[in-house]
Amino acid sequence: MFLLIVVSELVQLAGPYLLKMVIDAIANFRKEEMGRIILLIAAMFLTNQAVSLVNFLTDRKIFWILADVERYLPVNAQKKMVFLSLGYHEKENTGNKISKIQRGVDKVVNLLGNLFWDVGPTVIQIVFTAAILFWVNWRFGAIFLLFVPLFAVQTLRLNRQLYPLRKARYDKYEVSSGQMAQAIININTVKSFVQENREVKEFKKIREDIRRTSLFEFYKMLNYNLSRNFVIDLGRLSILALSIYLVWIGGITIGSLVFVITISEKALLSLYRVSRLYDRVMESSEAVERLFKLSEEESDIVNLPDGLKPEKIIGLIEFKKVDYIYKESKQKALDGVSFKIEPDCVTAIIGPSGGGKTTVARMIYRHYDPTHGEILLDQRSLKKYDLYAFRKAIAIVPQEVEIFNASVRDNIAYANPEATFEEIVEAAKTANAEEFIAKLSQGYETLVGERGIKLSGGQRQRIGIARAILANPRVLIFDEATSNLDSYSERLIQEAMAKIRRDKTVIIIAHRLSTIKKADKILVLENGRLVEEGNHQSLAKAGGGLYARLLKLQEMGDVV
C-alpha cells in the first residue's frame, strides 16, 4: 500500500514538471522546437493516464483492506466478548459494550480510509515537494519548511485542548447507549409502570448534554481554523512574492514559476486538508482507544493451554474451605464452605436468599475462582482442567432460562447443534415440552421472540430442561428452576427432573422444600456458610436447625 502511494505521488509530480517544460518552450518559441512541444504534450497525456491507472490499483487495494478490516474487527471483538469471564459481563452495561464496539469499528475503518486516501499521500507529497523546492531554489524550500511546522504546532495545540472534551463526549455516548438498551430490555417494566415519558426525558437529557459538549468542541475547532488559514495564506504569499522576484532578476524561468506555484499550492492545500483529517483522526482516537482497551481485557478465569481433557467425568465435586467475595461487595458470598457432592446422587442446596446457593452453582462451572480454598472435580482441582472440556460435561437449568430470538428447535439444540430432529423431539418429550410445542403455530419451527417473550415462564423452563437433556451432561444443575412457576408448570418440571436424574450427578438449588425432600443429601447455606448437612429425615428432626425452621414455616404457609 505504501509503495503504491509513493509511486502515485511521484507520477502526479511529473505532470506539473512537464507543464513547466512546455511553458518554457513556448516562452522561447522556435519553429524547430514544435516537435518537442508536441512530444511533451503527449507525455503529459500519458502521465495523466498513468496516474489514473496507479490510482485505480491503489483504490482497489484500499477497498480490499477496508472490507477486510470491517470484517475482522467486529468478529474479533465478538470473540473477545464471548470468551471474557462472566465477571466482566456482570459489571459492564450491555448497551455500553455494543456502543464501544460499533463506534470503535466505524472509527477505525474511517481512520484507515483517511490514512490511505489523504494523510499518507499528503505526507509523501510534502516530503517530495520540499525536496523539489530546494532543488529549484533553496529559498523556496526554506519558506516551505518554515510554515509547515508552524501549521503543525497549531494543529497539535488544538487537539491537545480538545482531548478532555472528546473523552467526556464518548463517556456520554456510552451512557446514552446504555440508557436506551436498558429501556428496551426492560420494556415490560417500563410500560407496566407507565414510565415511557420518564425514559424519553432521561434519554433526551443525556443527548442534550452530548449536543452541548459537541458544539463547544467544534466551535473551539472553528476558532483555531482562522489562525491555521492565516498561516497557509502567509506561506502562499511568501512563495508567490519570491517567485515573482526571482523571475524579475532572471533567477528562474516563467515555467519554473508556474511549476513552483502549482506544487506548493497543492501541498499547502493538502496540508490544510490533512490538518482537518488529523482533527477527525484525533476525534476518532477516543473510540479507537476504547476498542483497543477491550481487546486488552483479560478474563478473570485463566484457562491452562495444556489443561486436562478427560474422556469421562465421574461427577465427584468437592469444596475445600472455599471463600468468595464479589468485586463490588465487602461481604463474603461464601465463607469457608466445605462439602462433597457424590456422583450419581441428588444433592440439594437450600437456604435463605443471599445465602450463596447460586454462587456455588457458578463456581462449579468455574465462572468464578475461589478467593481462598479449592474446588475439586473427580479429586483434581478445577483449575487443572481445560475450561471448555469439563464444562461440556455440565448443564444448568437456571431460574430464568435465557432464550434466543430463534425457533423452538434452535433453542433446544443450542447445547448440541449437531443433534438430529428426532433427538430434539425426544429431549422435548422428556422435558414435558412436547405438549405445548405441538400447539404452537409452526411447532418446532415457531420463532419465540427476543428473550422468549412469546412463551410463558413454565414453557421457557421446559425448553431450558430440554436443552440441558440434549447436552447429555454428567453433572446437571437445577438453579431454582421451579421457584417462579404456577403449580401446574412446577409439577410438569418436577416430573421432567425425575425422568433425567438417573446416572447423573444432580444438584438442585431450591427455596421450596417440597422440591428436594427426596434428595440423597441436603446442604443448608446461610450468609455464605454451610450451617447444616444431611438428608430430609435427619435435618427435619433437628428441631433447632435452620432446615427444620424453614420446613415448619412452609408447612404453616408463612413462606413459599
Torsion over CA: 274, 276, 277, 282 (sign): positive
DSSP string covering 301-353, please? Answer: SPPPTT-B--S-----EEEEEEEE--TT-SS-SEEEEEEEE-TTSEEEEE-ST
For residue 286, what is the DSSP state?
H
DSSP 8-state class, residue 382? G
Instruction: Report the C-alpha gap between 457 and 411 in whole angstroms.
Output: 15
Q: What are the Cα distances from residue 449, in Å, to 187, 362, 407, 411, 480? A: 14, 27, 8, 11, 24
DSSP state of 431: T
Count CB atoms within 10 A of the CB of residue 277. Answer: 20
How far from chain centre, in Å, is Cα 369? Answer: 24
**pLDDT number for residue 225:** 76
Residue that is written with C-alpha cell 432521561 in the block: 202
Grid cell for residue 289: 482507544
Residue 353 class from Cβ within 10 Å (0-12 exposed, 13-18 middle, 19+ buried)? exposed
Number of C-beta neighbours around residue 75 at 10 A? 10
Q: How high is the pLDDT of residue 283?
A: 64
Exposure string of 209-238, with b = 16+ CB inside 10 Å and e = fewer, is: ebeebeeebeeebeebbeebeebbeebbeb
Output Rg (C-alpha) for the chain, integer angstroms. 36
CB under 8 Å to 458, separation ≥6 — which residues?
485, 486, 488, 489, 490, 492, 493
Smallest Cα–Cα separation from 476: which of 465, 485, 492, 490?
A: 465
Separation between Cα atoms, residue 438 and residue 451, nearest integer Å: 20
What does the pLDDT read at residue 318? 93
Q: Which residues of the chain have pLDDT under 70?
A: 24, 27, 29, 31-32, 85-97, 99, 185, 188, 192-193, 273, 276, 278-281, 283-287, 451, 481-490, 493, 512, 514-515, 543, 554-560
Distance CA(384)–CA(390), nearest Å, equals 10
* Distance, CA of 322 to CA of 450 (rounded, Å): 37
SS (H, E, C) 495-510: HHHHHCCCCCEEEEEC
Q: What pLDDT does residue 89 have? A: 66
- Give the model confidence (pLDDT) of 60-94 as tens digits: 888 888 888 888 887 877 777 777 766 666 666 66
CA distance 539 to 537: 6
Cβ of 239: how many Cβ atoms within 10 Å? 22
What whole-number distance in Å separates Cα of residue 131 and Cα of residue 10?
A: 12
Can you give the pLDDT at residue 319? 93
In the three-class reduction of DSSP (H, G, I as helix; E, B as strand; rest coil), residue 371 is classed as: coil
Bridge partners for 395 per DSSP = 476
Task: State residue 188's pLDDT score.
Answer: 67
DSSP structure string for 3-35? HHHHHHHHHHHHHHHHHHHHHHHHHT--GGGHH
Helix axis angle, 120-136 relative to 254-296, nearest 10°?
150
Q: How far apart are CA 523 and CA 539, in angstroms?
A: 10
pLDDT in tens, 355-395: 888 889 888 888 888 989 999 999 999 999 988 888 888 88
- Of the candidates 492, 474, 472, 473, which has an alpha carbon nearest to the alpha carbon of residue 482? 492
The span from the CA of 428 to the CA of 434, in Å, is 5
Write down the residue that cell numbers 471474557 correspond to: 84
Pairing of strands 334-341, 521-526: unpaired
How many other C-beta atoms can be found within 10 angstroms of the C-beta atom of residue 435?
12
- For 499, what's the count of Cα atoms within 13 Å in the CB-facing half-sphere? 18
Residue 96 pLDDT:
64
**Exposure of 451 by Cβ count < 10 A (0-12 exposed, 13-18 middle, 19+ buried)?**
middle
- Total-model pTM: 0.62
Res 560: pLDDT: 43
Those residues with Cβ within 8 angstroms of residue 24's Cβ, 6 or more apart along the chain or in another chain: 253, 254, 255, 256
Q: What stretches of 378-491 adopt beta strand conformation (E)?
A: 380-381, 394-397, 475-479
Looking at residue 99, its pLDDT comes to: 66
Spatial distance between the Cα atoms of 20 and 15, rounded to a whole number of angstroms:
9
C-alpha closest to that of 286 among 164, 179, 114, 181: 164
Instruction: Give the residue from 2, 278, 279, 274 showing the smallest Cα distance to 126.
Output: 274
